[in-house]
Amino acid sequence: MVCLSEESLRSLDYAVSWTVSVREPKCHIPFHYEVSCKQRNGLPEMTLIATVWSPEGFAIAADGLEWQEDHINSEIMTEDVQKIFSTPFVNDTGFAWAWVGYVRASFGSGRRYDLKEITQRVMAELPDDDLDDPQSYFDKIAMRIIYELEPPDSIPSSLPDSDDDVIFVGYLAGKPLWTEITFQRREGMFLPPVVLEPKIEPRNFNAFAGSKTICRQMKDARKLSQPLNLSEAISAVHTYAKTCVESKESVPDCKNFGGTVHVATVTKSGFSWVIEPIRG
């Protein structure tokens, strides 16, 4: 049996993840690695969130640009928004989380709509049961968030229909996983939240929101191979986010990104900043 070097294994793994073969590999391939870049509803993304897992932990990156609608339906731009947040770490359980979608608005009545604030409140105290059942665990979190929302008849009708997603990456009872919870808003009312089946040891680069163009270019340039350690995971998400922001003038699906790129890690030891956001 021929033994391949670590670098060769990674190159081979990159190749098999993008080809289909009915033949069994001649030697063990440690990872099936894919690159996933979503385009929600086929519309240009207004925020950038990317993450990847390595055997040492997760890396997650975001841009810092946010457009906020005010009560007279005009938009205000700020470039120093924090988009990545963390939960406490208790019983080998804790996460980084980030929202994608239309998550904040202010109105003439003084009322504010802010899914980030709601989630921070909910996630300050994690559930302490269902640790062996990821789906049930996140179902519980989803219901806690929806419970914190105001009654449907008080949701401003001026907010557009949308699917807003909160992404979680981290550890549940010591097991690495990620998942998404989608909150669908239709005609001013929230539908029941949908929890994507949690993925244990998710072995792919995932731009939950970002530029499919940059994703494709980096994949073709072999810059998104399976990270073998946390340093390589950090490099992948940081390079992707930075390239998207720097390409806003030249790449159409990067035009809504900008501001300060911030990067964090989540390991079994907890959450840490690599590049902190600039908090205004």
Whether residue 76 is found in the same domain as residue 110: yes
Q: Is residue 201 part of a domain?
A: yes
Q: Which residue has the higher pLDDT, 178 or 38?
A: 178
Whether residue 244 is found in the same domain as residue 141: yes
User: How many domains does the chain fold into?
Assistant: 2
Whether residue 108 is found in the same domain as residue 179: yes
Out of 34-38, 102-106, 160-164, 200-204, least confident range = 102-106
Whether residue 11 is found in the same domain as residue 66: no
Whether residue 53 is found in the same domain as residue 183: yes
- The answer, yes or no, to whether residue 260 has pLDDT greater than 50, is yes
Out of 79-88, 104-113, 174-183, least confident range = 104-113
Q: Is residue 176 part of a domain?
A: yes
Whether residue 79 is found in the same domain as residue 191: yes
Whether residue 19 is found in the same domain as residue 48: no
Whether residue 116 is found in the same domain as residue 208: yes
- The answer, yes or no, to whether residue 8 has pLDDT greater than 50, is no
Contact 196, 183 (CB under 8 A): no
Q: Which residue has the higher pLDDT, 41 or 65?
A: 65
- pLDDT score for 136: 96
Q: Is residue 280 part of a domain?
A: no
Phi and psi at residue 55, to the nearest 5°: -60, -15
Question: What is the mean pLDDT of the segment spanning 42-66?
Answer: 88
**Percent share of the chain, pLDDT over 70:** 74
Whether residue 166 is found in the same domain as residue 199: yes
- pLDDT score for 108: 55
Q: Give, in order, the Cα–Cα distances in Å from 174 to each of 93, 136, 217.
A: 6, 17, 34
User: Taking the complete model, does pTM exceed 0.85, yes or no?
Assistant: no
Distance in angstroms (rounded) separating the CA atoms of residues 246 and 248 = 6
Residue 226 is part of a domain; what is its CATH number? 3.60.20.10
Q: Give, in order, the Cα–Cα distances in Å from 192 to each of 61, 140, 147, 155.
A: 28, 12, 11, 15
Q: Is residue 61 part of a domain?
A: yes
Question: What is the mean pLDDT of the segment spanning 150-175?
Answer: 77
Structure tokens at 157: 């009708």
How many secondary structure helices (H) and strands (E) does the chain include?
Answer: 5, 17
**Percent share of the chain, pLDDT over 90:** 50
Whether residue 185 is found in the same domain as residue 62: yes
Whether residue 26 is found in the same domain as residue 157: no
- pLDDT score for 31: 42
Q: Is residue 25 part of a domain?
A: yes
Q: Is residue 153 part of a domain?
A: yes
The domain in which residue 260 lies consists of 36-275
Whether residue 135 is found in the same domain as residue 228: yes
Dihedral of alpha carbons 110, 113, 117, 118, sign: positive
Structure tokens at 278: 């600039």
Contact 87, 123 (CB under 8 A): yes
